[in-house]
Structure 1
């Protein structure tokens, strides 16, 4: 890896104008392209103290060996040049949007002498009009239906040439689903007119064609040409079938692309609905690996640049509106660029209310589902899991792959109701039955490191006790019988030191490896040394550690909220005169939760067995005499180290609002 100081340009040499810059590796390959309003301000940020850099920035500047820049006249020019270079060099440290699946498009090859209707995937071709994307079944049905109304050629070049040479059309020509230009049934101009009508219909002018056919059908009926009228009737039915397949969601004059994004630390899923004439004409999705750390505004800017940069005025059909979840930093420049591509004004905005905001919510839900599906496919793959374990073995210098990993986390609110969690992963798959939760009290609850030490001590003290049992009893017990290959704690050096001390006190210091995962920069902290292990952002090993840490964090917070709610309820009800343990239990059992109990009126409280009108009024008054935050149990959750009680993983009353997700399969776990 190169030392950034070896190629750092002098600050005075860097211009302050807007421009585009490129980082190159020792082999001369471009590994990152960026743009800036001020080149000097942006480039100097890459050569700051290495310890303050984000992981992706740290990796990029150490992989590079030189940096160069080009000054441009405006931010719009910088945007265009950045896109051009990204397409030319495909730098590995830039965001690269990839389809989460390959969508089929209905394409019309208007650049050919006799245009052809076909289904295409993948790269767009010059001179071809695209409509969609569609699902595979819907696009075949749409194409088959419309060919009876617009009998445009759909055969391959080879079939077309053979028909020309033989003078006989293919089967579609005989069944009137092709106008057979190959044998001269229609002229080149007539066939092109059919193709243009096909494109106009797919472009949103369906009502015009339906109205024309209805007039022709009426005329045929008036002339008693019932056979022609029947054919036109069937054509109208076919057109309406295609036209009505997409529901009207917005006003008919609305042409818009609606984008939504769902992201986590490593990846982002993007969905877009294409609305034309007020109807959803297509849907498309991408999944991007966040090899660079970006804000939502920056992510949207990159997205629009790449999506519309691939389109031209002829095949892109840019809409009048582009609706996004958040405006990019250079919204005005992007809007001007999009307008130049379309040849007319393009409005770039965030919908705030009404039907467009509601549609944005639907698109976002699709993005959430797409990211969940992508993660389940990625994490569920055995090859991927094996690679993740291998990467962890090499990065952490373990003697063998960490087939069993245990992660610990702590949750509390300002030192109260301190709890901890333990989650278990074997062979990259969560073992929910072996999750454990811990309540921490006394001196162990004074801070996160003390709590972490207490949790690890209790967990491995149980392991030492069960290790002395016969094998059959140890397997039946199943609580702490098996030691992990790797212990992960949520935090940095303080939490790691506390965990190591706990293991050393039990005589297990040399048997079990401990690391910490600090959330701010996703650093892996080993017990030894003053510097963390930096795993690549796209590393499968880092991905696995993050999912384990997030699951431990979720489970700790769930238990903390449950415990906090019980303690707050008890503290309030204890102050009600005449309300004993039996009646408190009856109230909680009747209403099922603190929230419902607090919301109940005196009459509803009096319905509980043993609670009379006077006592019900006292309970109601006590709840509503307490500040809202205290009664409801609000407060900020914090998670640092972890505490375990050794209790099984089920937390009553929590699973309905905090579902556990198996990060290896993407399935919702039963809580």
Structure 2
């Protein structure tokens, strides 16, 4: 535990102007970002008596090792800089209002030539516009089913779209006029995008004008005695009205507003937002976040508004750059909050700049807006109660597991950062390793790494012990190199970002027994790393091996510590197997195409990328192969001939298929890999 007085700035050196400040830990990581009207007054409060600080603030200042600040001209600039730094550094002690990924939304892929509509859960992507969130996926499907008869936009996946384009025949939705069938050329890309734009305008609240236009067209068709078209337009109007009825009218004056409700206790805060557009509730979102300090409700409102609307405008700008309609969907004309923050005037100015027109922040006092605000607040209270019931056991379990690991393994402190490595190969070929990272008992997938093993065993088989030693050496050499680049911190001088591996784990786990543990420990001794504990988890009896001990540590089968170690080990195993399969598949695919006349590395890569697998490449026609950029008809014939020879039953030089394995017995694992980097 650090003493805040060791890095407290000298009296009088802190300016009194507005600005943004950062606390860094001993490894240079940014752990907290804040803003202040008066930097001196704000920072001085952190170095008061520790006993008087909020528990989370006390933990932050004792974890930090340095504080720095940046002076800005206005408080609006401080708001923007604080938001940018929180987004860039993801500080551990800042409250982050991340979207609740459990709610389904209706996604429209405006970044594709032929945009499609589909139900989506997960993080926001660039170039995709979202509507919702909805409480249930079936509510989205009902809405889409009603509206596709009016706006026949594409709803099929990319694979289905390509398949029907190849066979030149539409799917069922195309036959029943619920899709404009751009796959077979019934409409052009421009006409299909107009349909999608009208669909987005309808969901964004611009409904009355569309309905009036359809009613005029219906009356005109009836006057011209075109009763079939008039009936079709009548049904379209009915479908649009039924879709509108599914959205509750809460404010009769066509108000565009976001209503924010907050309910909290000493530890956590529940936030609920109702998005009202055109007087109707268009969506609802909710968060439950840890309380970072003894902040007032107004200060919590300021934190939420800065992060939430800054992130939403960033996303919308990537969808429709320069289109005020997208910004208007994210930043409303009015924001109803439980309490006005001290900097509400600066917040209003910042939001107005984002929207491009005036935005008002108010506390509702009476009438329909007050009634709706009370409803949102009740929702926040219910969400907090449900979160307490659902998450209490998980938080307690993780804390218990880390404490049990510290006590059971005799560690100096709880292992807040755990790294685990695993080896995967098939009879010594395509040897790879994985490194996974858990922080605070949860996986940190952005820090995952792949390794291709460079050493080779003399007998053609992989030496798992040597592989573990190699991976350990490469991992901690990287750590030492990053530390030597800048001796004062672990910050990359070129990017200003924290080097992810410039700080060591508390616990380093290897998948294996005593030999594997001894190999990793020997490397750490060789490199002079003394602040990392090493253990091994053997699969046979789930024994925990510690370097230098003749007998393993046996953790109880019901131990939360053992369960956490198993989760870490199994995640490393899954990640290694997935990388091994992809590498082996790529090698086998490229080996079949080796030696084909006129097919170099660049063209071979283009073929593999285009078709995805040898099986699909075998099924392709000469026209399909020659359609790949850079592949002519002569090369396509050579490729087809090589694939025909490789598939011939007379070939007997193919290697027998062996099951994948790691350094112990194979266990069933899922096949999907998270997004992790590769360190070669």
1:391 offset after TM fit, Å?
A: 8.0
Bigger Rg over Cα: 1
Deviations 1:590-618 (A, max 9, x none): xxxxxxxxxxxxxxxxxxxxxxxxxxxxx
Does residue 305 of structure 1 match 2:306?
Answer: yes
Contact 2:333–2:358, Cα closer than 8 Å, also in 1: yes
Per-residue deviation, 1:292: 2.7
* 2:37 is the counterpart of 1:29: no
Displacement after TM superposition at 1:390 (Å): 7.0
Q: Is the 8 A contact 1:100 1:287 kept in 2?
A: no
C-alpha distance in 2 between matches for 1:344 and 1:291: 33
Partner of 1:452: none
The question of 1:214 aligning with 2:215 is answered yes
Instruction: Find the counterpart in structure 1 of residue 94 from structure 2.
Output: 94
Counterpart mapping for 1:157-172 below 5 A: 157-172=158-173
Whole-angstrom distance in 2 between the partners of 1:194 and 1:261: 39
CA contact (8 A) 1:261 1:268 kept: yes
Q: 1:350 aligns with which of 343, 351, 363?
A: 363
1:38 aligns with 2:51: no
Superposed, which structure 2 residues align to 1:266-285 within 5 Å? 266-285=267-286
Question: 2 CA distance for matches of 1:339 and 1:384?
Answer: 40
Residue 6 in structure 1 maps to residue 19 in structure 2: no
Structure 1 equivalent of residue 613 of structure 2: none
Which deviations, in whole Å up to 9, do the C-alpha atoms of 1:411-451 show, x marking residues without a partner? xxxxxxxxxxxxxxxxxxxxxxxxxxxxxxxxxxxxxxxxx
What SS does the corresponding residue of 1:67 show, helix, strand or coil?
strand
Q: Distance in 2 between matches of 1:289 and 1:99?
A: 15
Aligned equivalent of 1:263? 264
- Answering whether residue 388 of structure 2 is matched by residue 375 of structure 1, we say yes
Q: What is the Cα deviation at residue 101 of structure 1?
A: 5.5
3-state DSSP class of the match of 1:13? coil
Gaps of 5+ in 1: 398-539, 541-671
Structure-to-structure mapping, 1:525-604, within 5 angstroms: none
SS at match of 1:287: strand
Please give the alpha-carbon distance, in whole angstroms, between the structure 2 residues aligned to 1:143 and 1:27. 51
Report matched runs for 1:507-522 at 5 Å. Answer: none
Taking CA–CA contacts closer than 8 Å with sequence separation of 6 or more, which of the two structures ends up with the larger relative contact order? Answer: 1
1:244/1:299 CA distance change after superposition, 3 Å: same
Question: Shift in Å at residue 320 of structure 1?
Answer: 0.6
Cα distance between partner residues in 2 of 1:387 and 1:87: 26
Identify which range, 18-27 or 218-227, moves more after superposition: 218-227
The TM-score normalised by the length of structure 2 is 0.56
Per the TM alignment, residue 384 of structure 1 is displaced from its structure 2 partner at its CA by 4.8
Report the Cα distance in structure 1 between the residues aligned to 2:346 and 2:42, rounded to whole angstroms: 19
In structure 2, runs of 5+ residues without a counterpart are 321-325, 409-559, 561-680
TM-score normalised over the length of structure 1:
0.56
Shift of 1:187: 1.6
2:259 counterpart SS class: strand
**Could you say which residue in structure 2 is the equivalent of 1:503?**
none
Partner deviation per Cα, 1:52-92 (whole Å, 9 max, x = no partner): 22222221111011111111111111111111111111111
Tell me, yes or no, if structure 1 residue 230 matches structure 2 residue 243.
no
Residues 390 and 229 (structure 1 numbering): CA distance in 2 closer, same or farther, change over 3 Å? same
Counterpart mapping for 1:142-541 below 5 A:
142-312=143-313, 314=320, 315-316=326-327, 317=329, 318-379=331-392, 381=393, 384-386=395-397
- When residues 98 and 124 of structure 1 are mapped into structure 2, their CA distance, relative to the original with a 3 A threshold, is closer
1:350 deviation in Å?
Answer: 0.9
Aligned residues: CA RMSD: 2.3
Change (3 A) 1:369 1:100: farther
**In 2, distance between residues paired with 1:277 and 1:386?**
46
Q: CA deviation at 1:213?
A: 2.0
Distance in 2 between residues matched to 1:178 and 1:391, nearest whole Å: 54
**Residues 478-509 of structure 1: CA distance to partner in whole angstroms, max 9, x if unpaired?**
xxxxxxxxxxxxxxxxxxxxxxxxxxxxxxxx
The answer (yes or no) to whether the contact 1:17–1:39 under 8 Å persists in 2 is yes
Residues 548-585 of structure 1: CA deviation (Å, up to 9, x unaligned): xxxxxxxxxxxxxxxxxxxxxxxxxxxxxxxxxxxxxx
The equivalent residue for 1:619 is none
CA distance in 2: counterparts of 1:280 and 1:259, whole angstroms: 13
Equivalent residue, structure 1, for 2:433: none
Tell me, yes or no, if the aligned pair for 1:152 and 1:177 is still in contact at 8 Å: yes
Secondary structure of the residue aligned to 1:271 is strand
User: 1:122: Cα distance to partner?
Assistant: 2.4
Name the counterpart of 1:577. none
Q: 1:194 to 1:329 in 2, by over 3 A?
A: same
Q: Give 1:131's aligned residue.
A: 131
Number of corresponding residues: 396
2:63 maps to 63
Deviation at 1:394, TM superposition (A): 10
Deviations along 1:257-301, whole A, 9 cap, x unmatched?
Answer: 000101111111111111111111111111111133311111111
- Distance in 2, matches of 1:153 and 1:99, equals 27
Structure 1 residues 8 and 388, CA gap change in structure 2 (3 angstroms): closer
Q: Which whole-Å CA distance do the structure 2 matches of 1:77 and 1:348 have between them? A: 19
Determine if contact 1:116/1:154 at 8 Å carries over to the other structure.
Answer: yes
Measure how far apart 1:396 and its partner are. 13
Task: Say if 1:56 and 1:293, in contact at 8 Å, map to a contact too.
Answer: no
Partner SS state of residue 65, structure 1: strand
Matches of 1:171 and 1:146 in 2, distance apart?
A: 17
Judge conservation of contact 2:255–2:278 (CA < 8 Å) in 1. Answer: yes
Assess if the C-alpha contact under 8 Å between 1:261 and 1:364 holds in 2. Answer: yes
SS in 1 for 2:12: helix
Q: Deviations over 1:125-148 (max 9, x none)?
A: 223222211122211110111111
Q: Distance in 1 between matches of 2:248 and 2:338?
A: 23
1:252 is displaced (CA, Å) by 3.7
* Contact 1:271–1:367 under 8 Å retained in 2: yes
Kept after mapping to 2: 8 A contact 1:95/1:290: yes
